[in-house]
Amino acid sequence: MPACCATRWRIRRFAVRTIARRRWVVTSRRCSLWTGLADDWQRKCRGLDVHYDLGEGHPLLGRRMPDLDLLTANGPLRFFSLLHDARPVLLNLGEPSAFDLTPRTDRVQCIHAQYAGTWELPAIGEVAAPTAVLIRPDGYVAWVGDRTQPGLADALSTWFGAPAAA
């Protein structure tokens, strides 16, 4: 079976299963089933429902980082613009200079920023705002926490190698 036919078959199977699971709720505008179905398809097609199992912790861990409007010392910035260089990002939303990345500054960029909005993930909804987030170059979160929580050094070593020798 050609790849395009297999893909169409998977999408049709997903649609039939989704329709069978949902109830038809008629509103004054239209049937709300189609809105929910379209949202599910968009999440599946964009890969926003992908969750890597990176252990217990914050719901953001192992999921794609949302594109936030950040406020930095250099002015406003969209988060996804930080990923254009294909470098990992340690996004510090707490106290400035809380994290020392001196041995890894050649590999990991540390951004001190503020974000005042709500954190909403497409697949699960609203989550608690983290203090710091380590994001891989593909946009998925490798570590969430603050400077009192262990695991940042391990995550940095696992994903981005040992620190550079002094």
C-alpha to C-alpha distance for 91 and 98, rounded to whole angstroms: 11
Check the CA dihedral 120-126-130-136 and report its sign.
Answer: negative
Find all residues with CB under 8 Å of 40, minimum gap 6, and list them: 14, 18
Kindly list the domain boundaries of the chain, sorted by start residue: 3-46, 69-160
Q: Model pTM greater than 0.95?
A: no
Return the closest-CA partner of residue 132 out of 153, 152, 112, 146. 146
- Residue 164 or residue 24, greater confidence: 164
pLDDT over 50 (residue 66): yes
Neighbours of 92 (CB within 10 A): 22
- Say whether domain 69-160 belongs to CATH 3.40.30.120: yes
**What Å distances lie between residue 24 and 18, 34, 40, 122, CA to CA?**
12, 9, 16, 23
Region 6-15: mean pLDDT is: 63
Could you report the per-residue pLDDT of 111-145, keeping only the tens digit for each?
A: 899 998 888 877 778 888 888 999 999 999 999 98
Residue 35 has pLDDT above 70, yes or no: no
